[in-house]
Structures are given as structure tokens and as C-alpha cells.
Amino acid sequence: MSYLQAIILAIIEGLTEFLPVSSTGHMIIGSSLMGIAEDDFTKLFTIVIQLGAILSVVAIYFKRFFQSVNFYLKLIVAFIPAAVFGVLLSDKIDELLESPATVAVSLVIGGIILLFVDNWFRNPTIKEEKEISYLTALKIGFFQCIAMIPGVSRSAATIVGGMSQKLTRSTAAEFSFFLAVPTMLGATAKKMLDFFKDGNSFSGEQINLLIVGNIVAFVVAFLAIKSFISFVSKNGFKVFGIYRIVVGLAILGLILAGVDLKVV
């Protein structure tokens, strides 16, 4: 992996991780077109640079993370379903990750849902995170489990889950960002632990690539989150639905054209 390739992947990660468009689907296209999808370091890189994206959430909502114990308890409750099902369905998830067609179909189906989600949930009553109950947090956590299917998008699943529980669009999006912190941190920690348990280590250049990737992912994710909240509050999710459908059909087109796509 070159530094240019690392920067491109980090930009993709930063732009797509918190938007309801599936970072997995975009990583497939990006890494495959650059010819590095099968490289073991690439697969690790795409997970580790999530740390930069996580820090962008903490930086933007710094005060929220130090406001009350209840805030953390709600995140823990919402995180439990994904933690449990992630362990129980680990092998099945890995199997699905070998299927680019699954990602493409998930993108299209999710896109269709986003075309109509604004009309389905028109009368929200929960306008702030502090109004979210533990039961509501748990329900949103179960929605997050749907994102274990590649291409669904963790952000899309949790935002739709939040809106189904009477959260406003902006509040649902923000809670999705908060929930990403323990979820992505857990996934990153597991990947790193597996990497070192197998007796692997980083070269000096790989460490530099990871540093650059995390910095770029942080900056891009920071800007994406700030823009996203303002955009969805005014315009809703329809444009993201259209975008997902286009990307999903593009992946299906590449598959039909014989392009060997690999899911990172």
C-alpha cells in the first residue's frame, strides 16, 4: 500500500462511516479498483483507521461524553445486542463478507428504505439524547445488529431504528454517532488483538501509513458529521437512498462485468 492509496481509503472511511451509505460497499470499490483488496495489511488498515473516525465523534461532542453516567449506561445497553450477536454469529458474518453480491443487494434494499423513511416516521417526540430511555436504547441496539449484514450500514440501521422509536432525524443521527464509539472501538480492538496473537507486527512504514490514515480519517469524518446533521435536519434521507441504489447497482454491474471484487 502506498501513501496515496492509504489517503484515498482514509478519505472513503471518513466520508462514509457515519453516513447511511455503507463504508463496506465503498471500501470494496476503492480497494478493488486500486488492486490492494486482498492484501492482509489493507484489511487491517481499513479497521484500524476507524480509530480516527471515532475520535472525531468525541471531539465534536466532547461535552456530551463527560456530562453524565446515564449517557454511558445508555450506550452500554445499546451496545449489548451487537456484542452478543457478534460473538454468536461471527462465522456467518465472515461468510457473508465473502459475497460482494450481498453488499450490493443490501445497498439497494437499504436505499429503497431511505427513500421512504422520512414519510414513515413523521411525528417524532424525542428531541434530545437525555430523553432516550434504556428500553429505547436497547431497541436501537437491536437495529444495529442488522448492520452485521455487509452493505446494510451501521449508521443507516441505527438511524432508522432511532426514528422508529420517535427520535427526530438529528437526534437519531447523533445517537448513532455516539453508539459508533463503543461498537467501532470493540471491533478495532478485536482486530488488533487477533493480529498480534498471530505473531504479526508492524513495520516502520506500516505504522506511518496507519498514522496518516487515522489523521485523514479524523479530519474527513469531523467535516462529514458536521455537514450531515445540518443536511438531514433540512432535507431528510432521500438523497442518500438514491445514492445507495446507484452504488449498489454499480457493484452489481462490476460483478456482471467479471470484475473480481473482494470485501475488505
Q: What is the pLDDT of residues 50-97, one digit of tens each?
A: 889 989 999 998 888 887 788 889 999 999 998 888 777 666 666 666
Average pLDDT over residues 202-218: 91
Q: Compute the distance between CA of residue 92 and CA of residue 80 in angstroms, rounded to an integer.
A: 19
pLDDT score recorded for residue 92: 66
Residue with the bigger pLDDT between 151 and 223: it is 223
Query: What is the Cα Rg of the chain in Å?
Result: 18
Q: Compute the distance between CA of residue 183 and CA of residue 14 in angstroms, rounded to an integer.
A: 16
pLDDT score recorded for residue 96: 60
pLDDT greater than 90 at residue 236: no
**Length of the chain in terms of residues written:** 264
Average pLDDT over residues 16-40: 80
Q: Which range is most confident: 16-25, 83-92, 105-114?
A: 105-114
pLDDT score recorded for residue 81: 92
Average pLDDT over residues 160-188: 89
pLDDT greater than 90 at residue 11: yes
pLDDT greater than 60 at residue 118: yes
pLDDT greater than 70 at residue 148: yes
Average pLDDT over residues 44-54: 87
pLDDT score recorded for residue 264: 47
- Residue from 45, 69, 61, 156 nearest 108 by CA: 156
How large a percentage of the chain has pLDDT more than 70? 93
Average pLDDT over residues 163-179: 91
pLDDT score recorded for residue 67: 77
Confidence of residue 256 (pLDDT cuts 50, 70, 90): confident
Alpha helices in the chain (DSSP H): 3-16, 23-33, 40-48, 50-60, 69-88, 90-96, 100-120, 134-146, 154-164, 169-197, 204-235, 238-256
